[in-house]
Each structure stands twice: as C-alpha cells, then as structure tokens.
Amino acid sequence: MSAKSFDAIVIGGGQAGPPLVGRLEAAGMKVALVERKFIGGTCVNTGCMPTKTMVASAYAAHLARRAADYGVALSGPVGVDYKRIKARKDKVTNDARGNLEKWIAGMEGCTLYRGHARFESADTVRVGDQLLTAPKIFLNTGGRASVPNLPGVNDVPYLTNASMMDLDVLPSHLIVVGGSYISLEFAQMFRRFGSEVTVIEKAPRLTGREDEDTSAAILSILENEGIDVHVGAGDISFAKQGSDIAVTFSADKPPAIGSHVLLALGRVPNTDDLGLDKAGVAVDQRGFVVVDDQLRTNVPGIWAMGDCNGKGAFTHTSYNDFEIVAANLLDNDPRKVSDRIEAYALYIDPPLGRCGMTEAAVKKSGRRALVGQRPMTRVGRAVEKGETQGFMKILADADTGEILGCSVLGPGGDEAIHCVLDLMYAKAPISTLARAMHIHPTVSELLPTIAQELKPLA
C-alpha cells in the first residue's frame, strides 16, 4: 500500500494539536490531523471545561446554603438535581468540542483521520488501513489516569477523572484515593452536591508540592465542609462489601465504606502504544517523550507537545508548547520551554493560584530571601464577600529584588496571581509591585501592600 503524503502530521487533537494545524495550514502546508477519540483532548472532554462547569454548580449550591449569612431567606432546604448538573456539563463540553470540529473541518489544507496512529518508521504512521507520511510529525497524545496495581483494585468498580464525567448518579459516599489537585477538586465538589466524602492520602499531608502552611490551610478548608480526610495512610486495598466498596488504609482504623471510589493517583503519558520504537523516538523511565528546549525529540523531524513530553501537565503548558513550536518553525522566533515560569491553580473554593518558587524551594536554593504574607481575614474584599479562608504570600530575593514566587489562596486567587506572574515575566523587581496602585476593593489590591511589608525569610 502506498502512503499518502503530507507536509506535516499531527497526532492528537488536544490543546496543542488543532492550533498548530491551523498555523501550519495557514502557512500553506498540507496537514493530517489524527485523533482516536475526541477533538479537544483532556481539557475539553474530561478535564478543565467539564470539571470547572461542575465546580460552578457546586459553588452555587454552597452559596445557596449560606444564604442566611448574607441576609437572604430561602423558603426551603437547598437540593441539587445531579442529572441537570451533568446535562449542563455535557452541553459545555459538546459545544466546545463541536466548535473545534467545525473549525478544523473548515481548513482546506487539513485532513482529519479518526483512529489510532502508530509509527511504521520515522516519517510514516499507520491509521487503520491508511498509511500517512510526512517530513514533520508532531506528537500531542496527552495522558491518562494512573491506576496502580493495588490489592483488590481490579475487583471493584473504581472511577477515574475521565469516567467520573460519565457518572449519572450522585454518590451517597464518595471515597477519593489521592490527596492532590484533581482529587481535592472532586472531593469538595461532590461534598457540596450532597455526597459524604472521604479522602485517603498516603503522604503525610495534602498537596505535597506546596508549602506546609498552604497544605494546612487547604486541609482546614476541606474539613470545614465536612470532608473526612486521612493523611499518612498505610497500605491501601479494596474489596467489595455488598453493594458498597471497602477501602482499607490503616491497621488502626476501620476501612472506609463507600458507594463509589475515585482513584486520583497521578497521570501517565499516552506513549506506550504509538510504536515509538519503530521511529527511534526516545522516552524516559516514566514513558514521557524526551524533548529538548524547543520540544524536538531525538529524531529529526519529530516533535512532542503537551502532557506526553513531561514538561507540564496543564492545558496552559500544552498550549504554550504549541506557541513555542510554531514560533520556531514559522516565525523565526527562538522561543524555548525554559523561558516559562511555573504557574498553575488548584480549583477548590477558594482557589489557590501559584507561580514561581515555593518557600521550601527558596530555602533549598540558599538564596537570601524576603517574604510577605497576609491572611484573607485582613483583606477587605474577602471580608465583604464573606470568604475569608486562605492567605497570600510573596517571596523575593533580598539582594536583587527579583520576585521569586507567589501563592494566593483565597477568593479569585486563580486570577489575582497573574498580577505577580506578569511582573515576573517582565523581570520587574518587587519594588515595581510595591509602587503599583491597584483598584479598591479587590483581593489584588493587597499585593502591593504585602510587597511593602517584606521581612527576611527565616
């Protein structure tokens, strides 16, 4: 069978794939896009968009239950219609995916192949009965939930972040195994929908990559809403108990008994079934495609973008990968991965926005540093909104004034963090933030005040 020739092949329709196809097609290239399931990848279909839609529903229920705190009287108890919540979530996802599909269909120079792509050689892939060849191939295959081989795990009907999106009944008791970003988002969400929720984490604290004060504040937020949290869990095992699931996690405590179990124990890249060995593409011990600072693999003509390259596990890092590849290929603009600053959010309520280094990382670096911190109880906008959990913290280099990092755990923390992140990209010193005039009343207005009150980091 002769292969069909293209100027470029993009494998995977996630956050980096379609925009790259758009740029390549606009530059006059003939492009093949291969997607084995849904256009839009994790973000549109099982990640950011559907979950944040559900977070919004959960927030509405939570706020309604607090109506009396704001002097608002409701005629009866607050309930949720989970089928309507799911229908709203499905509409948001389907609309977003549909718009992407229409955009791709309108590209005259793009051919969309539905199926699983596997390498036959460094410039040829097979999709079903079709052979495609191109001098440039871009991997954007994403990742999936990790399911460790824990005792009994395959004997129970566990859920992952993806299968949670298909759940059409509200769990009476959801057990969440894992204590990081995805797990905590689901834990609070379903607690607000009315489920009993238990979180089991093997590490000694939640969100282990954060500073200890951040982890403690997050724990407090969850426990204040009636979520049962167990950290420092021992060996975890699963077993059916009638129609329920028993999760054993401690020799000193009884097992948690729940109607549903969510496994949120990390992610693995979708690279094990691509035939990368036939192309000679190198992967690391965890299966991530090895790339350089411009996202090139060890094989000339093959790039890797998004979650499959281990350079980030977020929609924004995937999209930035596209921007880096396009800038180098099409714009003569030598952008690189090492230029970006780590930034992300945890979408519990209130959300955590994070950028740059943590306090622990700064201490480990040995730099003389300054730190400023303010609890949300001393932020007027938070007090006015009745949302005073959390705090803000800024770190700066004591010798150069360089802003090293920031955490905003509180109302609008996922938005307010960009005040600091953008200054870091501009390489502006902490004095620039200290002299800025921010709008009152906002959460962000206290960032300059904190910048004026920095003290040596002990």
- Whether 116 is catalytic is no
Residue from 116, 418, 438, 440 carrying the catalytic annotation: 440
The answer to whether the Cα torsion of 374, 375, 376, 380 is positive or negative is negative
User: What are the Cα distances from residue 442, in Å, to 395, 413, 419, 446, 448?
Assistant: 21, 11, 12, 8, 12
d(CA 136, CA 205): 45
Q: Which residue numbers are catalytic?
A: 440
